[in-house]
Amino acid sequence: MNDSKILLKPVYDLRVDADNNPLRYHIPAYQRGYRWTITQVTQLLDDIREFTKRESPQPEDFYCLQPLVLRERADGSYEVIDGQQRLTTLLLILRHFNERLASRFQQTLYCIEYATRPELEEFLENTSAEQAASNIDFFHINQAVETISAWFEQRESEVEVIKDAFLNKVKIIWFQLSPEDNAVAAFTRLNVGKIPLTNGELIRALFLKRGKDKAAGALQLRIAHEWDTI
Q: Cα-flanking dihedrals φ and ψ of residue 205, to 5°?
A: -65, -30
Q: What is d(CA 52, CA 12) in angstroms, rounded to the nearest whole number?
A: 17
Residue among 142, 138, 109 nearest 24 (CA): 109
Helix H or strand E encompassing 173: strand 170-177
Residue among 79, 66, 70, 75 nearest 27 (CA): 79
Helix H or strand E encompassing 30: none
List the Cα angle 52/228/225 in 5-degree steps: 145
Q: Is the pLDDT of residue 196 over 90?
A: no
Confidence of residue 192 (pLDDT cuts 50, 70, 90): very low
Sequence-separated (6 or more) residues with CB below 8 Å from residue 87: 14, 25, 68, 80, 112
Q: What is d(CA 53, CA 97) in angstroms, rounded to the nearest whole number?
A: 20
Q: Is the pLDDT of residue 204 over 60?
A: no
Q: Cα-flanking dihedrals φ and ψ of residue 114, to 5°?
A: -120, 130
Q: Is the pLDDT of residue 187 over 70?
A: no
pLDDT tens by residue, 1-24: 457 788 889 999 999 999 999 999
pLDDT of residue 86: 93
Q: Is the pLDDT of residue 55 over 60?
A: yes
Average the pLDDT over each of 113-127, 130-144, 169-183 and give the range with the smallest value: 169-183
pTM for the whole thing?
0.80
Mean pLDDT over residues 79-104, rounded? 94
DSSP-derived pairing of the beta strands 111-114 and 24-27: parallel
Q: Is the pLDDT of residue 124 over 50?
A: yes
How do the domains of the chain map onto residue ranges?
5-182
